[in-house]
């Protein structure tokens, strides 16, 4: 059976650099607090009315396709991972298909937040291994800056996130020492609300969680979302930072070890671990837990903040561009995020 290789990779971030000091002008925060807790120095914000999640995805896709040496007509399937789509529906996949003038190929949207890229990679891997598709364009992009609470109330979340896009072109390979060795995907919906944005949504999950039945008018009275359901803070992302931290530092090592064990490999075999850029402190904790050297873990959250689904391909692109990833190297991708969902992929470059 074929394996799946990354034939080309690209990234795009908007020009607009927003430093921690810039944020201190609009909310009560400080460069010291942000750097100490998250490692972030600056992030990029999309240019209003110019950059969208799809347009940034298109820019990253063009670079990935050029690096893979493929043209628009060669792409036979699109997968788009994002939590910040241009529209509530339809998804960004079809918008990218239209913008890039691709023929009437399938376009699939993946909504797995920080784990989105690895979930999408796993889906693409199945299509390639079975021979169904030969050139899959996988794009992961986020525009967080349009939807954050920039008042002091939202500072624990808004200082963390940034905008950007990454993309890969996936193709079959018959080489033994190349391609995706395995992917492992997990979820635990028990903590769904601990890292969430309830609106726009239908809140059925909340009634279930609170074990409080919805009133008939909420259920059947036209619009399900009634004013009493929409609290102002619910239109912004919510995060219980400490709960996320505690779970992330357990699940990252667990899912990386699962991948290593499945392939009879050891942590010392990893040339580069590219963790989802959630928070530099989480990455450092994982590095220690896994007994990895500093040069075995790639971090660029300092420059871009947390770009959710886009963070792994952006980091992978920069590592590749910096020649930290070479043919035959064992690369481990790992992510943890909202859902909670977590995932890993092990691949030979």
* Residues with catalytic roles: 114, 276, 306
Whether 275 and 311 have beta carbons less than 8 Å apart is answered as no
Stretch that binds ligand ACO, among 34-42, 95-103, 104-112, 129-137 (CB under 6 A): 34-42
Helices 92-99 and 53-68 pack at an angle, to 10 degrees, of 60
x/- letters, 141..170, toward ligand ACO (CB under 6 A): --------------xx--xx----------
Residues 199-238: x/- map of binding to ligand ACO (CB under 6 A)?
----------------------------------------
Residue 65 in 3-state DSSP? Answer: helix
Nearer to ligand ACO by Cβ, of 128 and 345: the residue is 345
Number of residues that bind ligand ACO (CB under 6 A): 24
- Residue 79 near residue 108 (C-beta atoms within 8 A): yes
Could you tell me the smallest distance in angstroms from the CB atom of residue 79 to ligand ACO?
A: 20
Of 6, 9, 345, which is closest to residue 172 (Cα–Cα)? 6
Is residue 38 a contact residue for ligand ACO (CB under 6 A)? yes
Task: For Cα atoms 313, 2, 344, give the angle at the middle one, nearest 5 degrees.
Answer: 35
Q: Comparing C-alpha atoms, which of 93, 197, 178 is closest to residue 138?
A: 93
Does 281 bind ligand ACO (CB under 6 A)? Our answer is yes
Give the Å distances, CA to CA, from 131 to 71, 103, 135, 171. Answer: 20, 20, 10, 10
274 is a contact residue toward ligand ACO (CB under 6 A): no
By beta carbon distance, the residue nearest ligand ACO is: 241
Pure H helices in 9-154: 20-24, 31-38, 53-68, 92-99, 116-129
Task: Yes or no: say if 193 and 209 are a contact pair by the CB < 8 Å rule.
Answer: yes
The correct pick among 114, 272, 325, 330 for binding ligand ACO (CB under 6 A) is 114
Closest separation in Å from C-beta 137 to ligand ACO: 24
337 binding ligand ACO? (CB under 6 A): yes
- DSSP category for residue 50: T
Residue 161 DSSP one-character state = B
Closer Cβ to ligand ACO, 55 or 283, answer by number: 283
Binders of ligand ACO in range 297-316 (CB under 6 A): 306
Tally the C-alpha atoms within 13 A of residue 30's C-alpha that lie toward its C-beta: 3
Shortest distance (Å) from residue 155 CB to ligand ACO? 4
Instruction: List the interface residues with ligand ACO, window 2-31 (CB under 6 A).
Output: 29
Where on the chain is the footprint of ligand ACO (CB under 6 A)?
29, 33-34, 37-38, 114, 155-156, 159-160, 195, 239, 241-242, 244-245, 248, 278-279, 281-282, 306, 336-337
């Amino acid at each position: 059976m074929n394996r799946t290789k990354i034939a080309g990779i690209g990234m795009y971030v908007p020009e607009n650099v927003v430093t921690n000091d810039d944020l201190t002008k609009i909310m009560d925060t400080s460069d010291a607090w942000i750097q100490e807790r998250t490692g972030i120095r600056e992030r990029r914000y999309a240019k209003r009315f110019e950059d969208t999640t799809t347009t940034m995805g298109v820019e990253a896709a063009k670079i990935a396709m050029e690096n893979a040496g493929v043209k628009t007509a060669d792409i036979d399937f699109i997968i788009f991972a994002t939590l910040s789509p241009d529209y509530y529906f339809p998804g960004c996949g079809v918008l990218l298909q239209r913008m890039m003038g691709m023929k009437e190929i399938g376009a699939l949207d993946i909504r797995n937040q920080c784990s989105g890229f690895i979930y999408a990679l796993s889906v693409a891997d199945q299509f390639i291994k079975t021979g169904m598709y030969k050139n899959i364009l996988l794009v992961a992009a986020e525009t967080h800056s349009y939807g954050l609470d920039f008042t002091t109330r939202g500072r624990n979340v808004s200082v963390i996130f940034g905008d950007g896009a990454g993309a890969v072109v996936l193709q079959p390979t018959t080489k033994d020492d190349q391609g995706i060795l395995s992917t492992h995907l997990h979820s635990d919906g028990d903590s769904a609300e601990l890292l969430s944005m309830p609106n726009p949504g239908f809140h059925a999950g909340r009634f279930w969680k609170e074990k409080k039945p919805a009133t008939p008018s909420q259920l059947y009275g036209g619009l399900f979302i009634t004013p009493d359901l929409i609290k102002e803070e619910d239109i912004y992302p919510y995060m219980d930072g400490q709960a996320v931290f505690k779970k992330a530092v357990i699940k990252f090592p667990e899912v990386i070890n699962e991948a290593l064990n499945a392939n009879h490999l050891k942590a010392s075999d990893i040339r580069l671990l590219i963790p989802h850029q959630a928070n530099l402190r989480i990455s450092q904790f994982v590095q220690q837990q896994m007994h990895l050297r500093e040069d075995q873990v790639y971090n660029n959250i300092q420059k871009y903040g947390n770009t959710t689904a886009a963070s792994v391909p952006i980091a992978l692109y920069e590592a590749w561009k910096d020649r930290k990833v070479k043919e035959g190297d064992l690369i481990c991708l790992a992510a943890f995020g909202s859902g909670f969902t977590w995932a890993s992929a092990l691949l030979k470059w």
